[in-house]
């Protein structure tokens, strides 16, 4: 029987690569993001290439009512979700705590923490009812070690790490696996978003290193998702070869 994976933030980066990887490997998809036209393009391409079923849901994970409405709409089309990937997220700005833009802080906290919680709250009852499931939360090396000027972004990823641990405990009785995936620097739209469209500044982040690619994260998630039912990878940190952890890379060696 075909399995279904729900991926938040599938319009670019990790989410998009995860969608492609799972479609290629026989999964049906539920993909979300705010950019509706991108979702439609991914759906058309993957349904054509892999004969999978792709449901698209365009909404903002920060908006609790939109999350509820999107999942209610989804329930009219399917009542089975094997995997939830809480991936939608971002960094906005990189400033010392006394100079940070409080709107950036709200954006990161609302997306990375509250968005993840809203999605989880809506999907877990369904997983309980179906007798199990697997949740992946995308954390970061920034959620393991704080780096200079990373303050609020790092705090949101520390929160993701805490929530991953908490969810694993809470959901243990229901056969729901919870896996934290913590990538180091990876070349996606992440830095472009962080630096608000400044392509030069975004490009500099990856100069002189060979960063992770989104496909690397997709590969690792697929590996974790296809282990035997009694095995759960709880926490996995991955970096490129030129990065040791959240603060130490070849660039600053
Ligand atoms: P991208 O910017 O390429 O992708 C981010 C995705 O999140 C997009 O699909 C975007 O969709 C979605 N998204 C952002 N805000 C919202 C929102 N409010 N509502 C719904 N969807 C939203 O970045 P990455 O793929 O790199 O990032 C994915 C996750 O990985 C994030 O949680 C990030 O913090 C984390 N991460 C990234 C690393 C990196 O170096 N790239 C390393 C470690 C972790 P849309 O704009 O269409 O809404
Ligand atoms: C994204 C990786 O190092 O830019 O979480 O914070 S980093």
Please give the domain boundaries of the chain with CATH numbers for all domains: 4-252 (3.40.50.720)
Whether 253 shows a pLDDT value over 70: the answer reads: no
Maximum Cα–Cα distance across the chain:
54
Out of 153, 174, 206, 248, pick the active-site residue: 153
- The confidence band for 33, taking pLDDT boundaries of 50, 70 and 90, is very high
Spell out the alpha helix ranges (H) of 51-134.
64-75, 102-108, 116-130
Atom number in ligand 2 closest to CA 194: 4
Q: Which ligand is nearest to the CA of 112?
A: 1
**pLDDT score for 249:** 83
Cα 137 to ligand 2 centre (Å): 15
User: Residue 13 C-alpha to ligand 1 middle, in angstroms?
Assistant: 7
* 142 CB within 6 A, ligand 2: yes
Measured between alpha carbons, how far apart are the two ends of the chain, in Å?
50
Q: What is the pLDDT of residues 128-185, one digit of tens each?
A: 999 999 999 999 999 999 999 999 999 999 999 999 999 999 999 999 999 999 999 9
Nearest CA to ligand 1 atom 46: 34
Nearest ligand to the C-alpha of residue 246?
2
Ligand 2 atom with minimal separation from the 184 CA: 2
Q: Residues 81-104: pLDDT tens digits?
A: 999 999 999 999 999 999 999 999
C-beta of 34 in contact with ligand 1 (< 6 A)? yes
**pLDDT number for residue 250:** 77
- What is the residue-averaged pLDDT of the chain? 97
The per-residue pLDDT for range 227-246, each reduced to its tens digit, is: 999 999 999 999 999 998 88
pLDDT score of 81: 98
Q: Is 140 in the pocket of ligand 1 (CB under 6 A)?
A: yes
Q: Which of 143, 180, 184 to mutate to test the pocket of ligand 2 (most atoms within 8 A of CB)?
A: 184
Residue of 2, 54, 13 lying closest to 221 (CA atoms): 13
β partners of residue 29: 5, 54
Instruction: Give yes or no for residue 185 CB within 6 A of ligand 2.
Output: yes
Give the model's pLDDT for residue 79.
Answer: 85
Active site residue 174: no
Main-chain phi, psi angles of 83, to 5 degrees: -135, 135
Instruction: State the complex-level ipTM.
Output: 0.99
pTM: 0.98
Torsion, Cα of 66, 70, 75, 81 (10° steps): -110
What token pair was written down for 168? Answer: 């694993």
């Amino acid at each position: 029987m075909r399995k279904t994976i729900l991926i938040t933030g599938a319009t670019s980066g990790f989410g998009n690569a995860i969608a492609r990887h799972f479609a290629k490997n026989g999964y049906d998809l539920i993909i979300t993001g705010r950019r509706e036209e991108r979702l439609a393009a991914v759906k058309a391409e993957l349904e054509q290439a892999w004969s999978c079923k792709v449901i698209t849901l365009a909404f903002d994970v920060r908006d609790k009512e939109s999350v509820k409405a999107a999942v209610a709409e989804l329930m009219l089309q399917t009542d089975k979700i094997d995997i939830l990937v809480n991936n939608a997220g971002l960094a906005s700005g990189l400033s010392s705590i006394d100079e940070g833009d409080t709107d950036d802080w709200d954006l990161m906290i609302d997306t990375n923490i509250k968005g993840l919680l809203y999605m989880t709250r809506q999907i877990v009852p369904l997983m309980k009812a179906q007798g199990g499931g697997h949740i992946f939360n995308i954390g970061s090396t920034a959620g393991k070690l704080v780096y200079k000027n990373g303050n609020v972004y790092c705090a949101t990823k520390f929160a993701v790490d805490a929530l991953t641990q908490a969810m694993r405990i809470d959901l243990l009785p229901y056969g729901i696996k919870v896996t934290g995936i913590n990538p180091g620097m990876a070349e996606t739209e992440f830095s472009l978003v962080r630096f608000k469209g400044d392509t030069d500044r975004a490009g500099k982040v990856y100069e002189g290193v060979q960063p992770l690619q989104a496909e690397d994260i997709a590969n690792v998630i697929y590996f974790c998702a296809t282990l035997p039912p009694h095995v759960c990878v709880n926490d996995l940190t991955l970096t490129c070869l030129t990065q040791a952890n959240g603060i130490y890379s070849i660039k600053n060696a």
